[in-house]
Amino acid sequence: MSLSPHKPIETVAEARARAKKLLPKDVFTALEAGSDSGATMRNNLTAFEQVGMIPRVGVDLPASLDLKTTFMGQSIDLPVVIAPAAAQAMHPDGEVGVARAARRAGTALGLSNFASMPVEDVVRANPDTFAHVYLSGDRDIIAGRVERFRQAGVKGLIFTMDLSGVRVANQPRDWGSPVYPDGLGLSTLIKYAPMALTHPRWTMRYLRRGSVPGLYAPNMSKKDGVVPTLVGGLYEWVDTHVPTWDDMAWLSDLWGGQFMIKGLVTPDDARRALDVGATAIGVSNHGGNNLDTTPSPLRFLPAVVKAVGDQAEVTFDSGVRRGTDVVKALALGAQSVMIGRPWFYGLAVDGERGVFEVMETFRITIERALIGLGKSSIHELSPDDLVIPEGFLIG
């Protein structure tokens, strides 16, 4: 099969369209879907459109604009960070390719508990790696996993509090939920053969590498020395109780370093997170994958920032698709922004190179927005640069 000339990714929307065309339906649906009707996922996107920007002209700007910030104590050159999510079945480059792309873009990444590649390999590809841990298994199991992350050299822990295995086990989606195969037995290969045959470009990528789409979770708990499948890891998560603030206090104390509690939208929850040792607050609704019909976290962001003050960093995610979205979140007080689906689209299109090109679309559009606003630095942004509808903000 001949390879067509490379076409660089210019927008996240383009990357999404190309990913949809290339990936099998079940793979793309797993990436794209939100919970229930998807109302929250859609609201995450439209919320950014409801906030306007006020242009400033005639400002003498430097040739180089300042996009530097920090993420959980680490300096980064781009205020856009890779959100933790497992890269199974997108591209054989996997999380290592994502890590390399992030490092090339000058930024950090979060690595999912359910990643398809070992944490040690990812940290070697990008030292600014932060491990995402779920409450999965008993405390001894979790402590062992955390120690592995520590030995691997990750810079901090991220815990997503708004999504638990108990909820995921029975998460309805109006467009259907794909079924993940548990391993690669003969029956699985036969069942999914039509998928491989009808998506030859996706299939050939894996065949050229001598690999198959990642269905294992090497950073989860081994049983009898065997690496669990993704489904096996999910079962362990499903069997664990919903996380509590006591669990967060224990985990923060166990880790003893940079610790983000993510999936918060209310000032009260942000203050509770500070009380149990969080050094960073992640304002997020998990990209619309939790409680459907909740408003966009953009509406809650200023209230959380005010509640936190200078006691912790505040980062934002959910619905970010372009540089202007990043600029709006920063203007409302976030110190950095995390992206999930956009980097997945890039990975699906062209592996490591696709992820880097998606990151560059953010860099370019952030700089363009700063020029339009008459700003030389992201640190000059404020709510005064925005047109915020009456009643938009909550809290």
- pLDDT band of residue 87 (cuts 50, 70, 90) is low
- Cα angle value 221/113/254 (rounded, 5°): 80
* pLDDT value at 291 more than 80: yes
Helix 267-275, helix 245-255: angle, nearest 10: 40
What's the half-sphere exposure (Cβ side, CA atoms, 13 Å) at 141?
A: 16
Residue partners of 311: CB distance under 8 A and separation at least 6: 274
> 6, 132, 199, 286: which one is catalytic?
286
Burial 125-162 (b: 16+ CB within 10 A, else e): bbebbbbbbbbbbeeeebeebbeebeebebbbbbbbbb
Q: Which whole-number Å values give the CA distances from 269 to 71, 189, 296, 297, 304, in the listed order?
A: 21, 45, 16, 13, 9
Q: Which whole-number Å values give the CA distances from 112 to 84, 96, 134, 218, 306, in the listed order?
A: 5, 12, 9, 11, 29
Q: What percent of the chain has pLDDT over 90?
A: 70
Give the gyration radius of the chain's Cα atoms: 20
User: What is the pLDDT averaged over residues 44-48?
Assistant: 97
- pLDDT band of residue 89 (cuts 50, 70, 90) is confident
Which residue is listed with tokens 């372009």? 322
Q: What is the pLDDT of residue 2?
A: 46
* pLDDT value at 372 more than 80: yes
Which residue is listed with tokens 């480059």? 93
Is-contact 163 263, C-beta < 8 A? yes
The architecture (CATH level 2) of 12-387 comes to Alpha-Beta Barrel (3.20)
- pLDDT band of residue 228 (cuts 50, 70, 90) is confident
Q: What percent of the chain has pLDDT over 70?
A: 90
* pLDDT value at 278 more than 80: yes
- pLDDT band of residue 357 (cuts 50, 70, 90) is very high
* pLDDT value at 105 more than 80: yes
Least confident of 47-61, 177-191, 238-252: 177-191
Q: What is the pLDDT of residue 1?
A: 43
pTM equals 0.92
Residues in the chain: 395
| Percent of the chain that is helix, strand, coil (3-state, to 5) | 45, 15, 40
d(CA 123, CA 129): 6
Helix 323-331, helix 341-373: angle, nearest 10: 70
d(CA 358, CA 342): 7
User: What is the pLDDT averaged over residues 194-212?
Assistant: 82
End-to-end Cα spacing for the chain: 56
What's the mean pLDDT when you consider all of the chain? 90
Q: What is the pLDDT of residue 179?
A: 61
Bridging pattern class, strands 74-76 and 69-71 = antiparallel
Neighbours of 352 (CB within 10 A): 21
The more confidently predicted of residues 176 and 165 is: 176
Domain boundaries, the chain: 12-387
Q: What is the pLDDT of residue 229?
A: 73
Q: What is the pLDDT of residue 289?
A: 87
Tell me whether residue 91 is one of the annotated catalytic residues.
no
d(CA 175, CA 25): 12
User: What is the pLDDT averaged over residues 179-204?
Assistant: 69
- Cα angle value 281/282/288 (rounded, 5°): 155
Q: What is the pLDDT of residue 223?
A: 72
User: What is the pLDDT averaged over residues 118-133?
Assistant: 97
Is-contact 271 311, C-beta < 8 A? no
* pLDDT value at 175 more than 50: yes
Neighbours of 268 (CB within 10 A): 12
Q: What is the pLDDT of residue 196?
A: 73
What's the half-sphere exposure (Cβ side, CA atoms, 13 Å) at 7?
A: 8
